[in-house]
Structure 1
C-alpha cells in the first residue's frame, strides 16, 4: 500500500469528532459526580445504591480516561505520520500510521465498554422504581 498525505488526511476529521464526543461524555460524567458529591456531603442524602453507583462511576472514569488517552495517541501518531512523510521516511510513516489506526480502534473499544457500563448504571439508577410496561 502506498501511503501519502491523503491517507493521513482521512483521520483528521475523525479524530477531533471523536475527541469532542469524549469531551462531552467527560463533562456529563463530571457534572453527575459533582451532583452526587454535593448530595452526599452537604445534604447528607445517601441513595440506597450509593456504593454500587460509586463503583460504577469510578469504572466509567477509568474507561473514559483510557478512551481519551488512546484517542490522543491516535492524533499524535497521525501527526507523526505527516512528519515521516515530510521527511520522506515512507516505511516509518506506514508503521506510525498503523499505530494511529490501532490506537483509534483501542480508544473506540474502551468507549464501547464505557457505554455498556453507563447503560448498566442507568439500570441501577432505575432499580428502585417499580414500573411495569405492558
Structure 2
C-alpha cells in the first residue's frame, strides 16, 4: 500500500471529533462528581460512595482515552511531516502506530462505557430500594 499525504489527513476530522467527545465526557463527569459530593455531604448515603468510586475510575479512563487519542493525532501529523520529507518508511511506521493508539483509545472508551452502565445500575438499585420501602 502506498501512503500519501491524503491518507493521514483523512483522519483529522475523525480524531478531532473523538477528542471533543472525550472532553465532553470529562466535563460531564466533573459536573457529576460535584453533584454527588454535595449529595453525599448532605445525606451520607453509602450508595453514593459506590458511584463516586466508579466515577473516579471513569475519570482515569477518560484521561487515558484522551492521552492515546492525542498521541495518535500527534503521530498522524508526524507521519504527514515524514511523508512531506520523503521518508516513506518512517511515515508508514508512524501512521501505523497512530492507528494503534487510536484503537487503544476506542477500546478504553468501550470499557469506560461499561463502567458507566454499572454506575447507572447502582443508581437504579437505589431507586428500586426506595420504591420497595413505600
**Fold match, TM over 0.5?**
yes
Q: CA deviation at 1:74?
A: 0.7
Aligned-CA RMSD value: 1.5
In 2, Cα distance between the equivalents of 1:94 and 1:100? 10
Q: CA deviation at 1:6?
A: 1.1
Matched, 1:36 2:4: no
In 2, Cα distance between the equivalents of 1:15 and 1:70? 11
Structure 1 gap segments, 5+ residues each: none
- Tell me the equivalent position of 2:104: 106
Specify which structure has the higher proportion of helix: 2
- Tell me the equivalent position of 1:116: 114
Structure 1 segment 64-103 matched on structure 2, within 5 A: 64-103=62-101
Between 1:52-61 and 1:32-41, the stretch displaced more is: 32-41
Contact 2:36 2:52 in 1 (8 A): no
In 2, Cα distance between the equivalents of 1:27 and 1:105? 23
Matched, 1:128 2:132: no
In 2, Cα distance between the equivalents of 1:8 and 1:48? 49
Structure 2 gap segments, 5+ residues each: none
Q: Would you identify which runs of 4 or more consecutive aligned residues in structure 1 move more than 4 Å?
A: none
In 2, Cα distance between the equivalents of 1:109 and 1:22? 13
Q: CA deviation at 1:54?
A: 2.0
- Tell me the equivalent position of 1:15: 15
Q: TM-score normalized by structure 2? A: 0.91
